[in-house]
Amino acid sequence: MSEAEAPPPAATAGRLAGRLALVAGASRGIGRAVALRFAQEGADLILVARTEAGLIEVDDEVQRLGRHASLVTADLTDVDVIDRIGAAIHARWGRLDVLVAAAAELGLLQPLAEIKPETWQRVLTLGLTANWRLIRSLDPLLRAAPAGRAVFVTAAEAAGRAYWGGYAVAKAGLEAMVRTYAGEVAKTSLRVNLIDPGPTRTRLRAAAFPGENPASVKPPEAVTDAFVALSEDGCLHHGELIRLPA
């Protein structure tokens, strides 16, 4: 997998008109910002998150933008629910144009030897295993679309960082898995990429850096251009890691 500059944004609206996109982790942070931007660009949405109230708030904004969202309240650490989501999409639409996998959990910043097994399991399940289950369940639907696109969210900690424990390990595994998947679908119309959004004003970031001034990092809305570019039917990027500037 090569590293590349962020795809340049286009100035026109409606770049995702007619496309069906599933956003996992859609109730807050980057997932929420991507969902709203996708609605602005004309996509219809399947929004997945653990918090029902958060999903309803996002849906209210989606409706104000004149778009439709199907809401799925689900904790993706219950990985079997992902197969049910895939089956429901198949029964209703028979395809999925875009997958954005933005769900993640930080866990605790502490030495590896001190992490509790249940914390390790939850962080790895959400950050890695759930993404594999999304691939496993949604791959046929993405291949059924004329121009399927899958975008996974990684972080610089994938290179390894002291005290970042399961989060760093999950992101490293995610990058290896997405490289593998991209190679397996290289001869299809499906395009698969990773985005490292860099420092972004999210709840996860605030938990990791409690003394940081939130205004010193960019808001989630600032990273959505790259997600749109990688989700368009004309996107040529494949098997790349897009690193966004700080």
Catalytic residues: 167
User: What's the order of all strands across the beta sheet hosting 20-24?
Assistant: 2-4, 240-243, 191-196, 149-153, 98-101, 20-24, 44-49, 69-73
Rg (CA), the chain: 17
Tell me which DSSP letter residue 163 carries: T
Element containing residue 237 per DSSP (H, E): none
Contacts of 133 (CB under 8 A, 6+ apart): 76, 79, 82, 83
Count of CB atoms situated within 10 Å of the CB of 234: 8
Q: Under a CB-based contact definition with an 8 Å cutoff, are residues 199 and 217 in contact?
A: yes
Residue 227 is which amino acid? F
Question: Which residue in 116, 108, 104 sits closest to 173, CA to CA?
Answer: 104
In three-state secondary structure terms, 103 is coil
Q: Under a CB-based contact definition with an 8 Å cutoff, are residues 183 and 226 in contact?
A: no
